Structure 1
Amino acid sequence: MPDKKALPQSSLTTIRSFAIHNQEQLRLMKIIRSILATGILTICSTAAFAGLNVGSTVNSLVANDDEGNLWNLEDHLGKKNIVVYFYPAAMTGGCTKQACAYRDQSAALNDLDAVVVGVSGDSVNSLSLFKEAHGLNFTLISDIDGSIAEKFGVATRDGGSIEREVNGATHTLSRGITTGRWTFVINKAGEVVYKDDAVKATEDTSNVISLLKKI
């Protein structure tokens, strides 16, 4: 049986170099695929959560209000300018100040042909207590699953619960999500004419009224 001859050192070096080159190519391809996948996901996420901007059209919005009835945006389109404001949680400091400011400016808002609706992740029962405790004179709607916030592009985080006393009794107010504090104004044609994604609770109502005077 003929003896097996060892490969020359130069051939071994070539083989090793080829193997290393292939490994580097495979590693580079994995990196490229990962970058491309991340980019595609980012683009898709941005598209999915871009939400509404000034100039966007809002055709529909239906949700449970503080009385458990369905509130429908279409009932107001063509008749009123619609102020849709998102707030983190009923019966908390900043949110109470913001809601009471809208309550106190109801006459001015009515003169400007505007209807106000507050949106949060609170349950219907929590909203009912909030409205009762502070004599709120506008509609609050429940976005407990975050679908409305997603439609508008409003940032959200996990929900939670707090305890508050209303009429001498302690109640637990629960919310499915916690939204950011954002405000939108939709004109009678259904077009978004104002968007504020960095709302200051104590300044929101005056900013909205100033805007409404211009349209």
Structure 2
Amino acid sequence: MRLIIFTALVLSISFSSFSQELNVGDKAPSFSTVADDGSTWNVNDYLGDKFIVVYFYPAAMTGGCTKQACAYRDMKTEIDKANAVVVGISGDNVEGLQLFKKANDLNFPLLSDENGEIAKKFGVPLRDGGKITREIEGQNFELVRGATASRWTFIIDKKGNIVYKNTDVDASKDSAEILDFLKNNA
């Protein structure tokens, strides 16, 4: 009897640690976390008013992630006109996000998901975190991330539903693809 109870307990713990992958049509999870400026960013503050583009990226100050973030920066005016707000989410700590934002003159919020809890809510695959050293304005900085998320992008509509999902993101084309979607489906 004890073996059955122990096995059931182990299985329930194991299965509860797996995240449920979200799909188009599903209700988006509620989340809030610390933004690059130290404020608390809450998805519920935007529901009912704007489309919310949520893009997960592996690590600040890396090649693909920088291309992706800079493309969103360059398309911000057009995305704003499409009545959407963009947030980038990674496992980087706030200090790393601040450096990434400053180094690339980013004009939208970067959100810290150091333990990967937001990524798990969306079903985004995670790997271990890490550290990288980058030179910014002549100084070396160590950027630390607690988790490394896969590069996935979602759009949440004004009612809080997932209306777009891309699990095969091309970092340099992501912002153009979401803008095209917003223009044709908003």
TM-score (norm: length of structure 2): 0.90
CA-based RMSD of the aligned residues comes to 1.9
SS at 1:126's partner residue?
A: helix
Distance, in Å, in 2 between the alignment partners of 1:210 and 1:184 is 14
SS at 2:120's partner residue?
A: helix
Q: CA deviation at 1:46?
A: 8.9
CA contact (8 A) 2:50 2:157 kept: yes
Distance, in Å, in 2 between the alignment partners of 1:166 and 1:202 is 22
Q: Is 1:72 aligned with 2:42?
A: yes
Candidates 147, 152, 156, aligned match of 2:126: 156
Distance, in Å, in 2 between the alignment partners of 1:154 and 1:124 is 20
SS at 2:77's partner residue?
A: helix
Choose between structure 1 and 2 for higher RCO, CA contacts under 8 A separated by at least 6 residues.
2
Q: CA deviation at 1:48?
A: 4.0
Q: Post-superposition, which runs of at least 4 consecutive aligned residues in structure 1 deviate over 6 A?
A: none
Q: How does 1:29-44 map to 2 (within 5 A)?
A: none
User: What is aligned with 1:82?
Assistant: 52
Q: CA deviation at 1:41?
A: 5.1
Q: CA deviation at 1:165?
A: 1.2
**Residues 114-169 of structure 1: per-residue CA shift (max 9 Å, x gap):** 10000000000000000000000000000000100100000010000001111221
Candidates 145, 163, 172, aligned match of 2:142: 172
Q: Is 1:184 aligned with 2:151?
A: no
How many residues get paired?
177
SS at 1:90's partner residue?
A: coil
**Which sections of structure 1, spanning at least 5 residues, go unmatched?**
1-32
Larger radius of gyration: 1
Candidates 165, 168, 171, aligned match of 1:195: 165
TM-score (norm: length of structure 1): 0.78
CA contact (8 A) 2:128 2:147 kept: yes
The alignment-based identity, stated in percent, is: 51
**Residues 63-108 of structure 1: per-residue CA shift (max 9 Å, x gap):** 0000111001111111110000000000000000000000000011
Structure with more helix by fraction: 1
Q: CA deviation at 1:61?
A: 1.0
**Residues 22-41 of structure 1: per-residue CA shift (max 9 Å, x gap):** xxxxxxxxxxx9xxx8xx95
**Which sections of structure 2, spanning at least 5 residues, go unmatched?**
none
Distance, in Å, in 1 between the alignment partners of 2:149 and 2:101 is 18
